[in-house]
Amino acid sequence: MKFAIQSRRDAQSNELMELAKTYLQDFGLTYDEEAPEIVVSIGGDGTLLHAFHRYSHLLDQVAFVGIHTGHLGFYADWKPSELEKLVLSIAKKDFNVVEYPLLEVKVEHHNAESNTYLALNEATIKSPDVTLVMDVELNGNQFERFRGDGLCVSTPSGSTAYNKALGGAIIHPTLAALQITEIASINNRVFRTVGSPLILPAHHHCVLRPVNDQNFNMTVDHLQITQGDVKAIVFNVANERVRFARFRPFPFWERVHESFVANE
């Protein structure tokens, strides 16, 4: 089996990376950064986001697993003290693969080719200088004209991240859906939005159409992209899916409880 390792690059994560690399090679696995079959992320959920985008062109063949060197994450669930146990399980191929849906973001331009991105957590659209004004279409029909700071479109697995901070719903990551959440919308006697997060199933899609000719600040997970000359931004549940290596039960609602409810 071929493997690669993504480190957060702090001292502890780098030390664990070197240990993991040595142990896995001792078991006969091959270190291959170009075409791995399993990627070990050492750091936090942000480190795994970097690993996902690094290998997003290999999603049909690579599985991810995370070791957290900070707080327990939604993607990084192994402790540093469990490194040897994890290495042994990888070497024995003692794991199952679970798949979660992703978000496809297609940016269409007036005078240039479109750009397509995949998000594991979410994509956001904001205006750098003035109020964001976007027509929101659902399945080809005008739904509303949004005015405010921005919009966040998230995956189910990303619903516990920025989406939750915006008041969005927490969605189980096995559900094929996308969620649209407002960022400080303007609602008064003149301008109105629905004012609630919208959850769309996989066979639905959302299109944002700029009302004004302006540049936009867009994020796709941790990536920051400035977009200009935008005709439309199309959001779909992607055909691709992310694959995680599961070596033991990792109940989603228990993670939610530990992260947001349980006392230290």
φ and ψ of 111, to 5 deg? -125, 25
Amino acid at 101: P
Please count the residues of the chain.
264
In terms of Cα–Cα distance, which of 243, 228, 225 is closest to 105?
225
Kindly state the tokens that stand for 92.
């024995």
Note whether 133 and 211 are within 8 A (CB): yes
| Largest pairwise CA distance in the chain | 68
Secondary structure element (H or E) that encloses residue 210, with its range:
strand 206-210
**182 exposure class (CB count in 10 Å sphere: 0-12, 13-18, 19+):** buried
As annotated, the active-site residues are 45
Helices (H), 27-69: 45-54
Beta pairing class for 141-154 and 177-185: antiparallel
